[in-house]
């Protein structure tokens, strides 16, 4: 006979945190949000950390190199999506690693014969106003000059003018040799009041650019998530089908951590993938796995060698797995049970396995609830899809700006590898939708607001770190009436009043 659970499963929306004692030391500025990213032994401590407990989802509509750079700058991590060619995914990872090194390979270049019209088109497409002029227009051609927005006036300079006519020529440029360190490059930039410094080899071929704004960015973002070489950290998704071909190029490109992208992790496919990666590339290659929703699923992946485990099936805003297949479990209950099993595993083995709550987040406070219930960090899709840095288009819908957002199980993504359980290599039916989310602006501003709420809530619980929150948190289930009581009620809001006809005011 089938196993029946006696109690109903619960969502984050059905819980509240009960305030605890707060000392005068409990102020938001004192809260430390750093969490472990991968498994570690009690005596050693984690080898990889997150400075804030946020990672972006392995999705076409969320995590590309632009998102990865923006999120790492704020202390989190992106997992570059795997539903693309191996070469394209590796190139995205390489761009993230090159960016933080401070030595950026220029992706906007022109030849001396290119016209101002071409320059303007490239500026519009890339957003970059600084363009090296190389003999062949390539990123590593012989440097002949640089074009910036100060070298031309669109209203006066003819569009047919060639770059050689209005560029700042090579003899007037300050450059630095290939062996220049980032610290030395920044000194040159400041000494010569430059916005960009070209790095050239002995034959005057362009190697990289170093920008003044990158130095300023580091000073403005103290929580940047950096590797040992001061480069931004970045993750990469892999699937359970072409991992033998995909993993090597991703690691060569600089991926710091991998994560198996699958709708359901309690499977032999995942244990085979984990086993292969660890055998072929070594235990030092860190791989997350999932998703699971119960104790058995956690134990399976823990013993298979996962370095962190994702929790959640069917709770994502664009996921329709529960509708299509009747598979899943409410997110809060899943996190609570898996976290309890993780803690038992830690006591038994001395190995701590971080948990990632994936899905079910509707409001910012749900993130703090997930942490209090035992998750170490959250993987978010809809949340990040709303921002400027997501790879999707911003469109006007009924007078409001929206961002496109689609699931990996949708017909648009056609990521059959994520849902495949044998048989034909195609998406048999959809488990995700194609949708819009309200446009929210830049990532930095929104993440800052979310983290401010998180720190404030933790102070209300008397906690200054995530482990302390998990130790001290008191959670209570709430009734449907209580949920209504928690918002504005029994009043007419001013913006509602302005929408009423005059005779009703």
Of 39, 37, 35, the closest CA to residue 51 belongs to 35
How many other C-beta atoms are found inside a 10 Å radius of the C-beta of residue 91? 15
How many other C-beta atoms are found inside a 10 Å radius of the C-beta of residue 231? 19
Element (H, E) at 288: strand 287-292
- C-alpha 498/C-alpha 505 separation (Å) is 9
Supply 376's token pair.
């170490």
- C-alpha 500/C-alpha 289 separation (Å) is 52
Contacting residues for 97 by C-beta, under 8 A, at least 6 apart: 231, 232, 234, 253, 254
Contacting residues for 266 by C-beta, under 8 A, at least 6 apart: 292, 296, 297, 300, 301
Backbone phi, psi, residue 123, to 5°: -65, -40
Looking up tokens 């569009």 gives 159
Residues catalogued as catalytic: 319, 418
Looking up tokens 């440097």 gives 143
E strand residue ranges, 125-254: 131-134, 143-147, 168-169, 176-177, 196-200, 206-211, 235-238
- C-alpha 178/C-alpha 305 separation (Å) is 41
* Bridge partner residues of 41 (DSSP): 351
- C-alpha 57/C-alpha 80 separation (Å) is 8
Of 192, 197, 117, 123, the closest CA to residue 161 belongs to 117
Tell me if the bond preceding 392 is cis, omega within 30° of 0: no
Secondary structure of 347-361 in the HEC alphabet? HHHCEECCEEEECCC
- C-alpha 483/C-alpha 205 separation (Å) is 64
* Bridge partner residues of 62 (DSSP): none
| CA distances to 54, 87, 150, 378 from 361, in Å | 12, 32, 46, 9
């Amino acid at each position: 006979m089938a196993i029946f659970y006696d109690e109903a499963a619960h969502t984050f929306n059905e819980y509240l945190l009960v305030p605890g004692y707060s000392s005068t030391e409990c102020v938001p500025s004192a809260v430390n949000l750093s969490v472990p990213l991968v498994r570690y032994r009690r005596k050693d401590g984690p080898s990889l950390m997150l400075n804030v407990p946020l990672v972006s989802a392995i999705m076409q509509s969320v995590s590309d190199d632009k998102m990865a750079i923006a999120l790492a700058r704020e202390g989190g991590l992106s997992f570059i999506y795997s539903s693309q060619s191996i070469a394209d995914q590796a190139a995205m990872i390489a761009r993230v690693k090159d960016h933080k090194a401070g030595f950026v390979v220029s992706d906007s270049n022109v030849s001396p014969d290119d016209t101002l019209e071409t320059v303007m088109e490239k500026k519009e497409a890339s957003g970059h106003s600084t363009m090296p002029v190389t003999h062949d227009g390539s990123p590593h051609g012989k440097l002949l000059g640089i074009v910036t927005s100060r070298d031309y006036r669109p209203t006066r300079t003819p569009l047919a003018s060639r770059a050689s006519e209005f560029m700042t020529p090579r003899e007037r440029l300050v450059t630095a040799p290939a062996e220049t360190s980032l610290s030395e490059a920044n000194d040159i930039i400041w000494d010569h009041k430059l916005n960009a410094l070209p790095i050239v080899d002995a034959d005057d071929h362009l190697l990289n650019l170093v920008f003044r704004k990158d130095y300023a960015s580091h000073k403005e973002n103290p929580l940047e998530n950096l590797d040992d070489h001061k480069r931004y950290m970045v993750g990469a998704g892999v699937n359970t089908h072409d991992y033998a071909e995909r993993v090597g190029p991703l690691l060569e490109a600089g991926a710091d951590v991998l994560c198996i992208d699958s709708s359901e992790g309690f499977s032999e496919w995942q244990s085979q993938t984990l086993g292969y990666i660890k055998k072929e590339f070594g235990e030092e290659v860190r791989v997350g796995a999932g998703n699971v929703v119960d104790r058995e699923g956690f134990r399976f992946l823990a013993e298979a060698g996962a370095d962190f485990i994702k929790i959640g099936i069917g709770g994502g805003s664009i996921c329709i797995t529960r509708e299509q297949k009747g598979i899943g479990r409410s997110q809060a209950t899943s996190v609570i049970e898996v976290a309890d099993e993780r803690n038992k595993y830690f006591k038994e083995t001395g190995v701590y396995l971080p948990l990632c709550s994936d899905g079910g987040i509707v409001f910012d406070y749900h993130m703090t609830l997930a942490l209090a219930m035992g998750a170490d960090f959250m993987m978010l899709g809809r949340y990040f899809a709303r921002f400027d840095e997501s790879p999707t288009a911003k469109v006007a819908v009924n007078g409001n700006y929206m961002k496109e957002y689609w699931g990996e199980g949708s017909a648009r993504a056609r990521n059959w590898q994520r849902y495949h359980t044998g048989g034909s290599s195609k998406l048999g039916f959809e488990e995700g939708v194609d949708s819009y989310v309200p446009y929210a602006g830049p990532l930095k501003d929104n993440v800052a607001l979310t983290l401010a709420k998180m720190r404030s809530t933790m102070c209300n619980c008397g906690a200054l770190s995530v482990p302390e929150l998990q130790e001290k948190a008191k959670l209570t289930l709430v009734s449907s009436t209580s949920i209504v009581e928690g918002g504005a009620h029994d009043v007419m809001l001013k913006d509602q009043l302005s929408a009423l006809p005059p005779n009703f005011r």
